[in-house]
Amino acid sequence: MRHFFAFYLAVGSIMTRLVSPIHISSVSESSKLIPKSSLVTNDCFPALGFKTPKQTPHDVELKHWWCDAATEYAFVGFSYEVTACQSAEQLMDEFKDIRENFDSRYVRLYGACDREGFYDDIVNAAWENGLGVHALVWFGFNGDDIWIQRRDTLFASLHSNPKAKFMTRVVQFGSEPLYDNVLPHQQLAEQVELAKANLSSLSIPVTVSELAYGYQERGGAQDVLDAIDSINIHMLPFFSQNASTANQSWPLVLNDLDWFIAHGNGKKMYFDENGWPSVTSPSVQPNSPLAVSNVANEQAYFVLLDQHCEYLKHVVGGGIGWFAHIYSDNQEPGYGIYDSSGKLKFPFHPRTFC
């Protein structure tokens, strides 16, 4: 994350919601009787309660492998930065923590580790702990071409590791390639199409991890929105020019979400980089003099999302699944659920269904 510009400047007027997200629940009486499961069924990956098989499934099983996207709303997991090139053991321990202590279904990778075989370690840790992965082709902030090599390495691993396609829910291009202007939007859309073609035999979809403002400042980049399979949104209201406290941030969330509802053609949406910082740092600077960063506000932001669980569940495309950005302060100062000494900063038990 590198946010120190007033990037909400150009945000237009509030969009009219095209599809009313609230409708009468179609949950039948009988399904209401199913006790405290987050999902109507847990025989799909990565439902809570699903047991990942010991053996790699046959390719034909891929058809019925993933849970329906409409079950992927509310809290789905953590952003997890890999720039530290965590060891296989650390990945195993932390993915276990992420799954077992927080009821996560996914990790969303952030940053890059260029160690050989690293994505295989991710796949192993995900497999052992029953977590799906939002993989990432990382551009970084240097404006160089290393992302091409990263893309090729990741794709090679997705093709060669027989477990990888069962763990990898989506490949993201990120982070914020439009906001950072790493490629003209036409070329980014073309890269998405090429990636989709490359990964189609594995049934792995492709997305871009981006702010509403990233699209808006590139004329809407409708070609990119049309190309991506799901919309993976950076929801970081602390940077809004109208930011004050997390408790007051719901209109800011809605403002960006409504833009995606209006332009996203009903695609599945995630808040994949999503949170409120407990402190500022050189790369985390507010654009509003009233923006408050402290642990109480970091926590309050996630409570706010929990309070709007029903609303988010019924957003077009199968509801909003949200990630907490980020697992630890060691990964992004101020945004961690854990502080840099490994202590939880606040109790964190977000809803996984409603």
| Nearest to ligand NAG of 145, 152 (CB atom) | 152
Number of residues that bind ligand NAG (CB under 6 A): 14
Q: What is the SS3 assignment for 77-130? A: EEEEECCCCCCHHHHHHHHHHHHHCCCCCEEEEECCCCCCCHHHHHHHHHHHHC
Cβ at position 8, least distance to ligand NAG in Å: 7
Task: Rule CB under 6 A: say whether 297 interacts with ligand NAG.
Answer: yes
Report yes or no: 1 and 234 within 8 Å, Cβ to Cβ: no
Task: Rule CB under 6 A: say whether 211 interacts with ligand NAG.
Answer: no
Q: Supply the DSSP string of 286-336, one letter for each residue.
A: -SSTT---SHHHHHHHHHHHHHTHHHHHTSTTT-EEEEES-SBTTTSTTT-
Applying CB under 6 A, which of residues 296, 308, 311, 348 lies at the interface with ligand NAG?
296
Applying CB under 6 A, which of residues 255, 287, 328, 331 lies at the interface with ligand NAG?
255
Report yes or no: 333 and 275 within 8 Å, Cβ to Cβ: no
Applying CB under 6 A, which of residues 227, 252, 253, 312 lies at the interface with ligand NAG?
252
The single-letter code of the amino acid at 168 is: T
E strand residue ranges, 201-315: 206-211, 231-235, 269-274
Positions 180 through 199 that interact with ligand NAG (CB under 6 A): 198
How far apart are alpha carbons 213 and 42 in whole angstroms? 37
Write the interaction track for ligand NAG spanning residues 48-77; mark x where CB under 6 A is met and - where it is not. ------------------------------
Tell me which stretch binds ligand NAG (CB under 6 A): 97-105, 203-211, 244-252, 323-331: 244-252
Task: Rule CB under 6 A: say whether 6 interacts with ligand NAG.
Answer: no
Task: Rule CB under 6 A: say whether 242 interacts with ligand NAG.
Answer: yes
Residues contributing to the site for ligand NAG (CB under 6 A): 11, 152, 155-156, 198, 242, 245, 247, 251-252, 255, 296-297, 300
